[in-house]
């Protein structure tokens, strides 16, 4: 199906936008008026450049504040429309977006709106132009798509239809059933945007926080499915207002936008297939698969031996060195850690996560179809064949095939068996620090490529402002990933990744770690006094928690106990125990962890 994007969605000059849109694989574009007016390109020059890049110009937008005005203003508006129509002929575009009036409408008068829109449609007809009328969510009198459709229906002119914009419709919580009442030939254009779920006025929400489909909290696939069921045959077009996108690389943003439409089309195709409807040429991706479990985590150790010493103190043993590479495998229970000494880094850092999938080949084909960067891997024919993809966060994800015998790759390190010295049983979750400009793209990666379910975003307090956190997991919760964005890039200790190992007896594990003289993150006494009175816990239990610097949380489903190592470079370790059906990460305790890390900033991980 044809894809398009509004030039306002990405940064750069108009020439840079055209190049980026073309390279990303779009078929066409919407020309945003400000971009054209600010350009030195003539209409004919712009038309030729777009054509030379294989792009059609699908929409001229926006035409603002037309209907419901005084007679004198109406004459001015019609004259403005004539000029726009002439420009459009030179550009080679036959559809204009007319937004509902937000400023100059004088009264809420349906008859007046119908009369004015009829005059605009008559003028458009004389110029062979189609007018797509859109209800802005903050329109002065017309703010919902069903009212816009009612006006278009009353005008009943072949050159007047509606533009359906997912943001303006979903942000108001409009009933989507009316979409089915609109004939497909009267849907002149479809604009798409996702968004985070926020309590914010719709104008600010729209101007600053739109996202590509799959990156926010709305069911855009269902919305598109409903529109296609009307018989709409135009392009799927992105119109995104986002401060981060407009400061980033045009090529990266355009590629991410096209990827989101590829993912969206596949989701819509599945909805149509379930109803035995034709696929309408929608893109098809290899079947999505959620990972079945963690295979390993991979670290660059940094300078010195501190990271390996910390692993020893947690009960890990060095199973062996790779037969050919400068890397070693450390194991504790079902947890495996690869220490890649060939990865040069001043400080310890998380560089890779290994995940098991039912079919490695299908997952890698899906990632390639989504234009994710596959990383060549140094391997001999008798060595394990991981698929490796570079995620937008910078962490590499290694894809292994769960149908192959368990951890055959571990044989390359020699040795075998499991160690239970400290009670660590496996990997509970991995938390990845993400730069603000990479958060949305990483969210789409987790959803589209890894088929994980995204949870609601949380704001976690710290000494330097709020940390934005969002988790993703598979259905069985054997894989949990968390994304964290610090308040500023300059805040001390921001940007740290961490791995949380699971245990069935956190007190036994904590006692082992304490005996090994690991310098755990110290928790202030005030926390335990508050915990006692906040949750009414027994004093003996509080004392036991305090002895080992263990943090505690509970909800209606269960309890959560966890402690942390002191941070080493760009990483730290957490040990957790889940009791009952607790499904969170101890979010209430985040401010304690962040403050304690700051207080112990100068301390080393081991005494």
pLDDT of 607 > 50? The answer is no
Q: Within 13 Å and on the Cβ side, how many CA atoms surround 331?
A: 18
| Better-predicted residue by pLDDT, 436 or 87 | 87
Bridge pairing between strands 465-473 and 453-454: antiparallel
**Contact partners, residue 237, CB within 8 Å, separation at least 6:** 3, 4, 5, 6, 28, 30, 58, 59, 189, 190, 191, 192
> Which pLDDT score is estimated for 350?
94
Averaged over 222-243, what is the pLDDT? 96
So what's the pLDDT on residue 405?
Answer: 53
Quick check: 363 and 352 in contact, CB under 8 A?
no
Q: By three-state DSSP, how is residue 279 classified?
A: coil
Q: State the pLDDT at residue 463.
A: 67
The rounded percent of the chain whose pLDDT value lies above 70 is 96
Q: Residues with Cβ < 8 Å from 3, sequence gap 6 or more?
A: 25, 26, 27, 28, 235, 236, 237, 258, 261
pLDDT digits (tens, 9 = 90+) for 485-521: 887 644 444 467 999 999 999 999 999 999 987 778 8
Dihedral sign (CA 248, 254, 257, 259): negative
Q: What are phi and psi of 102, to 5 degrees?
A: -110, -5
Q: Where residue 601 falls among pLDDT bands split at 50, 70, 90?
A: low
- Vertex 205, ends 255 and 30: CA angle to 5°? 40
CA 301, 394, 445, 589 dihedral sign is positive
Q: Which two tokens stand for residue 281?
A: 């040429």
| Range from 191-200, 226-235, 434-443, 491-500 carrying the lowest mean pLDDT | 491-500
Give the per-residue pLDDT at 245: 84
Residue bearing tokens 């030195």: 40
pLDDT tens-digit series, residues 93-123 = 999 999 999 999 999 999 999 999 999 999 9
- What would the DSSP string read from start to end of 164-187? EEHHHHHTTT--GGGGGGS-GGGE
489 vs 38, more confident: 38
pLDDT digits (tens, 9 = 90+) for 534-587: 999 999 999 999 999 999 999 999 999 999 998 888 899 999 999 999 999 998
Distances (CA, A) of 307 to 304, 311, 463: 8, 6, 27
Beta-carbon-side half-sphere exposure of residue 520 (alpha carbons within 13 Å): 25
The pLDDT value recorded for residue 598 is 75
pLDDT at 606 over 50: no
Q: What is the pLDDT of residue 363?
A: 94
CA dist., res. 219 & res. 208, Å (int): 20
The 3-class SS string of 443-468 reads HHHHHHHCCCEECCCEEEEECCEEEE
Residues ≥6 apart with Cβ < 8 Å to 115: none
Cα separation, 450 vs 389, in Å, equals: 11
Record the pTM: 0.90
pLDDT tens digits, one per residue of 364-384? 999 999 999 898 888 888 888
> What average pLDDT is seen over the chain?
92
C-alpha–C-alpha distance, residues 401 and 356, integer Å: 6
Which carries the bigger pLDDT value, residue 264 or residue 455? Answer: 264
pLDDT in tens, 469-483: 899 999 999 999 999
Q: What percentage of the chain carries pLDDT values higher than 90?
A: 76
Distance CA(470)–CA(483), nearest Å, equals: 5
């Amino acid at each position: 199906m044809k894809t398009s994007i509004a030039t306002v969605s990405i940064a750069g000059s108009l020439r840079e936008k055209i190049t980026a849109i073309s390279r990303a694989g779009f078929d066409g574009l919407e020309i945003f008026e400000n971009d054209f007016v600010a350009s030195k390109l003539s209409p004919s020059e712009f038309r030729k450049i777009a054509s030379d890049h294989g792009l059609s110009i699908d929409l001229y937008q926006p035409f603002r504040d037309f209907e419901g005005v005084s007679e004198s203003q109406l004459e001015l508006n019609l004259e403005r429309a004539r000029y726009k129509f002439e420009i459009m002929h030179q550009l080679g575009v036959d559809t204009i977006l007319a937004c509902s009036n937000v400023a100059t409408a004088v009264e809420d008068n349906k008859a007046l709106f119908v009369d004015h829109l009829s005059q605009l449609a008559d003028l458009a007809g004389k110029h062979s132009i189609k007018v797509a009328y859109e209800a802005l969510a903050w329109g002065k009198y017309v703010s919902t798509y069903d009212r816009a459709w009612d006006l278009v229906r009353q005008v009943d002119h072949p050159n007047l239809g509606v533009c359906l914009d997912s943001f303006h419709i979903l942000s108001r919580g409009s009933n989507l059933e009316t979409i089915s009442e609109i004939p497909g030939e009267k849907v002149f254009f479809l604009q798409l945007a996702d968004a985070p779920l926020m309590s914010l006025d719709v104008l600010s929400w729209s101007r600053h926080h739109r996202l590509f489909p799959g990156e926010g909290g709305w069911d855009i696939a269902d919305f598109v499915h409903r529109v296609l069921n009307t018989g709409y045959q135009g392009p799927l077009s992105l119109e995104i207002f986002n401060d981060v996108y407009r400061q980033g690389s045009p090529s990266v943003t355009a590629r991410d936008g096209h990827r989101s439409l590829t993912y969206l089309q596949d989701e819509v195709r599945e909805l149509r297939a379930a109803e035995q409807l034709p696929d309408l040429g929608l893109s098809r991706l290899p079947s999505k698969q959620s990972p079945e479990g963690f295979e390993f985590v991979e670290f660059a150790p940094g300078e010195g031996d501190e990271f390996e010493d910390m692993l020893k103190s947690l009960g890990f043993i060095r199973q062996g060195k790779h037969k050919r590479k400068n890397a070693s495998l450390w194991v504790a229970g079902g947890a495996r850690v690869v220490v890649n000494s060939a990865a040069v880094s001043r400080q310890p850092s998380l560089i890779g996560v290994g995940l098991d999938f039912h079919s490695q080949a299908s997952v890698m084909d899906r990632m390639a179809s989504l234009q994710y960067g596959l990383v060549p891997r140094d391997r001999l024919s008798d060595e394990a064949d991981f698929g490796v993809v570079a995620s937008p966060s910078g962490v590499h994800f290694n894809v292994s095939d769960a149908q192959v015998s368990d951890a055959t790759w571990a044989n390359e390190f020699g040795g075998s068996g499991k160690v239970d010295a400290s009670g660590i049983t496996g990997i509970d979750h991995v938390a990845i620090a993400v730069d603000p400009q990479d958060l949305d793209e990483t969210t789409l990666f987790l959803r589209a490529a890894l088929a994980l379910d995204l949870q609601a975003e949380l704001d976690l307090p710290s000494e330097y402002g709020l940390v934005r956190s969002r988790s993703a997991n598979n259905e069985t919760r054997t894989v949990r990933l968390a994304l964290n964005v610090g308040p500023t890039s300059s805040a001390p200790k921001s940007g740290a990744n961490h791995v949380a190992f699971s245990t069935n007896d956190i007190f036994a594990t904590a006692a082992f770690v304490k005996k090994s003289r690991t310098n755990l993150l110290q928790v202030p006494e005030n926390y335990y006094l508050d915990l006692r009175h906040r949750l009414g816990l027994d004093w003996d239990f509080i004392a036991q928690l305090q002895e080992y610097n263990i943090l505690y949380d509970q909800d209606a489903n269960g309890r959560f106990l966890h402690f942390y190592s002191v941070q080493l470079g760009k990483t730290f370790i957490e040990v957790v125990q889940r009791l009952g059906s607790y499904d969170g990460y101890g979010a209430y305790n985040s401010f304690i962890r962040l403050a304690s890390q700051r207080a112990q900033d100068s301390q080393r991980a081991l005494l």
